[in-house]
Structure 1
Amino acid sequence: MSAHARTFQAGRLASWRPSWRLGVGLGAGVIAALGAIGWMHTPSGLRVLAALGVPCPVNSVPVERVEALRQHGVAPLRMLAPAPARPTPGGLALDRTTEAQAATLLAHAHGQCEAQVRGYHYLRCRGIDASALALAGPPVSELWLSFNGAGRLIGIDIYRRGMQDGDVRATWADATGRLQSALGKPQVAFGDASPAVLAATPIQTARVQYRYADYVATVTASHLPQSGLSVREQYMSSTL
């Protein structure tokens, strides 16, 4: 599998067999690059990290190392042209919003947030009504915000799981519609996000992804045995 495919298929990290020397770097780097920090703390994420030899929580990684790994993970996703716009939910702005500003915004949304430090700083929030972030669909199961060494927002990961059919349709249509309205056709698209197709077998995935020199946005609908129907929205600065 190519480096491009490994990064793109972050949800399938369990199929990797990296060397011991690169295990920690690839595991932490791809996770940080894609903003999928919440995934680290799921049962599947913990199993993959254990296989890579990465302890959880990853307390020992210095911010400089995380930044270098992030750049390594982002590089295969970047295109040459900058994004004509960088859509993000709820008034959050990539490369601009600070942790304090994000915490204030989420407090107004009545979110239950906790700060974490894993080299970078993160805010992990639950109990946020989708409308507080100007999103359609059901409440957000988990929201993870990632901040770089300068304290600026570089990743937004919005995860909703255990969804009903109508929730999946509304969330997928809203997320992909906002991106298409601002950016047009995605660079990557595969799978069928209709709930009937997703639920037909235990593991099904549909995804759209936009890639630019300074922005990557991914919307993924999936059906997994542990979480049922789910939709994840990821918005990331790919500025290096």
Structure 2
Amino acid sequence: MSSTRLRRALVRCGAITVGLVAVIGVLHMPIGRPLLAKLGVGCPITKATPEQIDRARAIPAAGYAGMPSAPTRPAAGFELEKTTLSDLEAWAERRGIHCERLHGNETIRACKDVDAVDLGEPTSFAPAEEVDFEFRARGTLAVVTVLRRKLEVAHATTMVAELSRRLSGELGAPAKSAGVNTPEHFAKGPLQSYQEEYAFGDYAATLSETRIGNTGLLVRAQYFSPVP
């Protein structure tokens, strides 16, 4: 896939409303990838080189240009632009966590069934079904995405409230938010969602929560370094 086609694909994928962000995330989880395959839809990263992915990642990064720097850059216990692939492999080995290349791409790793304490989170949090790590071509960490699903509403909303409290305590109020993080909000029916974003010139964090049918709530936290 050429760099131009990859950029166009990612731009199209990124042009979605807040209410659909978590739904798109579901399609890239283990539960959604077979559906994409059946539909004949592929993720652009499956055929892209690490260098192409770096260039494509610069597209959303440009939206943060000119913003102030973040006071800190929390990323589930990892250091953006400092943690390396070797660091991740050593972390996984110490904790007995299974990680694999995502779609065979050397710079994208998916780690399964990660306990909250391994991410620097409270023991009361649900384990992460999957934690995805995106590294730059040179080997430093650019993105961390933590995915949890099939959560009970009370547990999910309490967990998201704590994650929000931690982020806002370090970063200040979110730049934008949508929805309401309450059990009553999610009782309205499927696809009810909540999202908040923290945006800086050198850091962005997005926390989202979505009710997926009758299977419980999906919680997704993503930490992104727009600037190497």
Tell me whether the two structures share a fold, i.e. TM-score over 0.5: yes
| Corresponding residue number in structure 1 for 2:98 | 112
Normalising to structure 2: TM-score of the pair?
0.81
Q: How has the CA–CA distance of structure 1 residues 227 and 237 changed in structure 2, closer, same or farther, with 3 Å as cutoff?
A: farther
2:9 — aligned with what? 27
| Alpha-carbon distance between aligned partners in 2 of 1:46 and 1:25, rounded to the nearest angstrom | 24
Letter in 2 for 1:97: T
- Percent sequence identity over aligned pairs: 24
Question: For residues 190 and 113 of structure 1, do their structure 2 counterparts lie closer, same or farther at Cα, with a shift above 3 Å needed?
Answer: same
How far apart are 1:111 and its partner, in Å?
1.7
Q: Pairwise mapping of residues 82-231 of structure 1 onto structure 2 (< 5 A)?
A: 82-90=69-77, 92-116=78-102, 121-136=107-122, 137-225=125-213, 227-231=215-219
Distance 2:222 2:121 in 1: 13
* Count of aligned pairs: 216
Contact 1:58 1:118 in 2 (8 A): no
Pair 197,75 (structure 1): closer, same or farther in 2 beyond 3 Å: same
In structure 1, runs of 5+ residues without a counterpart are 1-20
Is there any run of 5+ residues in structure 2 with no aligned partner, and where?
15-20
When the two structures are superposed, what TM-score results if normalisation uses the length of structure 1? 0.77
* CA positional deviation for 1:209: 0.5
Q: Does structure 2 retain, via aligned residues, the 8 Å contact 1:198–1:223? A: yes
Query: What SS class does the counterpart of residue 165 from structure 2 fall into?
Result: helix
Deviates more, 1:230-239 or 1:109-118: 109-118
Q: Deviations over 1:51-93 (max 9, x none)?
A: 8x86358443122222221111222244521111111222x10
Counterpart Cα distance in 2 of 1:61 and 1:233:
24
Judged with a 3 Å threshold, the aligned counterparts in structure 2 of structure 1 residues 37 and 85 are, in CA distance, closer, same or farther, namely same
